[in-house]
A and B are shown apart, each in its own frame.
Chain A
Amino acid sequence: MALPQRKQDATDARLAAVTLPDGPAWLTKARKAALARVSAMGLPARRDEYWKFSDPTTLTDTAVISADLADASDREFAGADALMAVFVDGAFDADASDDLEAAGVTITRLAQAQDITWAGDLLGTLEARGQSPVERPLAALTTAMATDGLLIHVTGDAARAVHVRYDRKDAGADVALHHVVKLDAGATFTLLESGAGAARFMSNMEVDVADGATFHHVRAQGRDTGRRMNTHTFTRIGTGSTFKSFTLSINGALTRNDCIMDIVGDDATAHVAGACVGDGEGFHHDDTVFITHDAVGCESRQVFKKVLRNGAVGVFQGKILVKHGAQKTDGYQISQSLLLDGDSQFLAKPELEIYADDVACSHGSTSGAIDEDALFYLRSRGVPHKTATTLLTLSFLAEALQEIDDESLGDDLRDRLAGWLDRHQS
C-alpha cells in the first residue's frame, strides 16, 4: 500500500541520510530488513493513531536539536553493586567501564559482534514481531541505525547487576543503540540504565525471558532539560517467568517510552511502571504500553504516575490485549497525574481488548491536584508549604516507586524526586 505523499517524502528524506553501520553479514542483513520495514511503514506523523498526543517531528527529522548538558556529578545508582558499561554520546568508553565479564553472564558489544548465533536469532526479531498490530517505525529505524549496544546472554543466576550509563559530552549528539538480553530458562538478571545519552537518544532493548527466568530493569533517564529520547522495550515472556521494568524520568524536552510485552507462556508475571516529573511547557513525556496476553494464568501490571507543573504535558497510552484462550488473565493498569497547577496537561488513552471470558482486568486513569485539606493539615502542624507539597507529591508517586523490588534502588530514586520537588516549587 502506498504511503501518503507527505509521509513518503519525510521518510525518503530521512532514509537518504542514513548510512548503515558496518558489521558482520548477519547483522547487516538484520539492519537492512529493519530499514525495509521503515520504508514500508513510513516514519510516524502526528496523524498516526498513537502519535496524536505527541509530536514525533523532532525524533524523525534529519537534523538534531542540541541540548545543554546537565550537571552529571550526582549519578543515579552510584551505590549499587553493578558491573558498569559506559557509553559517551553513544560511543563505548572502555576506560570508564568495567571488564564486561561477570558470573553467569556473557556480554558482547554490538559494535564488536561477530558470529553470535543466539543474537543472530534474536536481534530485530522481537522488534519485528512488535510491529503488529501497532506499527513502530522508529523502533525499526533504531534497529537499522544502532551503532552499538550490549548483547547480554544470561545463563544462570547473575550475581551482579549490569549498569549501563549513558553520559554526554557533545551537546548535539544523535545516538541510536540497540541492546539484546537473552535469559535462559531459570536465569535471573538485573539491568540498570541511567543518563540522558545524547541530545537525541534512540534505543531499543529486546528481552527474551525464557521459562522460569526473572528479569529486573530499573532505569533513570537523565535530567538534561533539552534532551529528546525514544526508547523501545520489546519483551517475550515465557512460562512461569517474571519481567519487571521501572523508569524514572526527570526533565527532558521529549521522552517517549514504548514498552511492548508479549506474554507467551502460562503463569508469567509482567510489570511495567514509571514515575515522571516535569516543569514547564518544554516538558513532554509519553508512556506507551502494549501488553499481549497469549497464555493462561498470567498477571500484568502497569503503574504510571506523572507530576506536572507550569504547562508540562504527560501522555499515557496503555493497552491490554487478551487473546482467545488467555484465561485467568489478571491485568491491572493505573495511570495518574498530579497537576501542580492549572496549566499542565495529562492525556490518557487506556484500552482493553479482551477475547477470553475468564479474565479480571481493571484500568483507571485520574488527574488531580494536591489535596488542599491534607496540605492545610500538614501546615497547621508547622510543616512549611514546600515541604508539605513534597511530602504529598512523594506519597502520590509512592505506588509507582513500590514497583521497584530493590529497596535501596527505590530509595535512591525517591531521594532524587524529593530533591527535584524541593527545587521546582515557587
Chain B
Amino acid sequence: MLEIKGLKVDLEDEDKSILKGVDLTVPAGEVHAIMGPNGSGKSTMSYVLSGKDGYTVTGGTATLNGVDLLAMEPEERAAAGLFLAFQYPVEIPGVGNMTFLRTAVNAQRKARGEEELSAGDFLKEVRAKAKDLKIDAEMLKRPVNVGFSGGEKKRNEILQMAMLEPKMCILDETDSGLDVDAMKLVADGVNALRSEGRSFLVITHYQRLLDHIKPDVVHIMSNGRIIKSGGPELALEVENNGYADLLAEDA
C-alpha cells in the first residue's frame, strides 16, 4: 500500500534537515503505529506525504499502490486514497462544515470518475456517521472546526475520514486531547473502517490508543529515521521505559 524508501526532507526556508532517510512499508490491510520523541519528524513525514508546502524532498521515494505520491498535488493524493487526520486540525471561518465535506466527497468522486453523491444521500450518510461519533447536528452546521473543542476537532477528523473512505489513513496524534470515552469512539470508528483494502498509520505517544486499535507493527522514529520496528510489545516497552534504551541501542 504505502512504501517509503530513503525519504529525506529539508525545510524549504531554513537550511535544516528533518527527515534523514525514512524507510517504511505499510502493506494493504495492516495497521502500523509510529511512536517517537517530540520533534523526531513524525508530523513532518505525514505533511510531506500529503503534499504540504514548505518542505524540500532531497532524496528517496514515496508511493501509494505503486503511484508516486510526491509528484502529485495534495488534492490528487487525496483522490488517490491518502488521508491525513491532522495533529492540529485547521479552523476555517466562513466555510460551513457540511459544504466543506460535501465539496470534498464529490470532488474526490469526480476526480476518480465516479458519480457525485446527491444532497439527500450525502445528508443521510453524514448524519449516520456523525451519530456514531457522537457529533451533534449543530456542530455540523458550524464553520469548519471553528469553536470546536480539541476533542471535537479530532472527532471531526475521523468523521471526514469515514465520509471520504480513503485507502491509506494517517492519524497524527488523533488520540491527544480526547477523553477516555471519546478515544473509544474514535477507535471504534477506525476499527469499523478496517478492511483488507485499507491501511492505517497511527502516530501516537501513548499505548492506550493501541489497546483499542491493535497495530500489526510498531515503528520508532527518532531524529528523522525509523530506528526500530517490532510488534505491539514495542509500544508497551516505550510506555514502561521511555525512549532512552531504544535511543542508546540505536547509537
Contacts and interface: CB of A to CB of B under 8 A. Distances in A.
Given A382-B79, A387-B103, A376 B53 contact: yes
Interface residues of B, number: 32
Contact of B94 (A372, A373, A384, A394): A394
B6 interface: no
Interface in A194-242: none
A257 B108 CA distance: 42
B103 A380 contact: no
Contacts of A371: 92
B92 A381 contact: no
Interface string A384-400: 11011001101110110
A382 B111 contact: yes
A382 B89 contact: no
Nearest to A379: B74
A18 B108 CA distance: 61
Contacts of B160: 381
Interface in A349-387: 371-374, 376-385, 387
B73 A391 contact: no
Interface residues of A, number: 23
Given A372-B53, A395-B93, A382 B104 contact: yes
Nearest to A391: B95
Given A376-B52, A381-B164, A391 B78 contact: no
Contacts, number: 79
B149 interface: no
B249 to A, nearest CB: 35
Given A383-B103, A385-B73, A385-B75, A377 B53 contact: no
B92 A395 contact: yes
Contacts of A383: 75, 100, 103-104, 107
A391 to B, nearest CB: 5
Contact of B50 (A374, A380, A387, A388): A380
A392 B94 CA distance: 8
Contact of A377 (B89, B94, B108, B164): B89
Pairs of residues from A and B, 3 with the lowest C-beta to C-beta distance, nearest first: A395-B94, A382-B78, A382-B108
5 contacts: A379-B78, A382-B107, A384-B75, A391-B95, A392-B95
